[in-house]
C-alpha cells in the first residue's frame, strides 16, 4: 500500500497525514508552509480557531502531479 492509498477517499486531512513519514509528501513542515505561501502547495481551510486542514482531493492531485517529490 502506497502512502497516497492511506489517505481517506474524501474529506479533509491534517498536516500530520500529509507530510512524511506518515504521509505521501516528503518535505519538512517549514518547506510545506513556504510552498503554501508561494502557491506551490494547496491552500488550507480553517475548521476552527486552531484546526487547519486540506481537501484530500487537492493533496491527491498534488502527489499525482509529481510537484511534491
What pLDDT is stored for residue 6 in this prediction? 86
**pLDDT score at 56:** 97
What is the predicted pLDDT for the residue at 69?
A: 65
Which of 51, 6, 37 has the alpha carbon at shortest distance from 59? 6
User: pLDDT tens, 4-52?
Assistant: 888 999 999 999 999 999 999 999 999 999 999 999 999 999 999 999 9
The pTM of this model reads: 0.89
Q: Which residues contact 61 (CB under 8 A, 6 or more apart)?
A: none
Q: Which three cell numbers stand for residue 25?
A: 509528501
With beta carbons less than 8 A apart as the criterion, state whether 63 and 25 touch. Answer: yes
Amino acid at each position: 500500500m502506497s502512502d497516497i492509498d492511506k489517505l481517506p477517499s474524501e474529506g479533509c486531512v491534517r498536516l500530520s497525514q500529509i507530510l512524511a513519514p506518515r504521509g505521501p509528501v516528503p518535505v519538512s513542515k517549514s518547506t510545506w508552509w513556504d510552498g503554501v505561501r508561494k502557491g506551490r502547495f494547496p491552500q488550507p481551510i480553517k475548521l476552527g480557531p486552531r484546526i487547519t486542514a486540506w481537501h484530500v482531493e487537492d493533496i491527491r492531485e498534488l502527489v499525482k502531479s509529481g510537484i511534491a517529490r
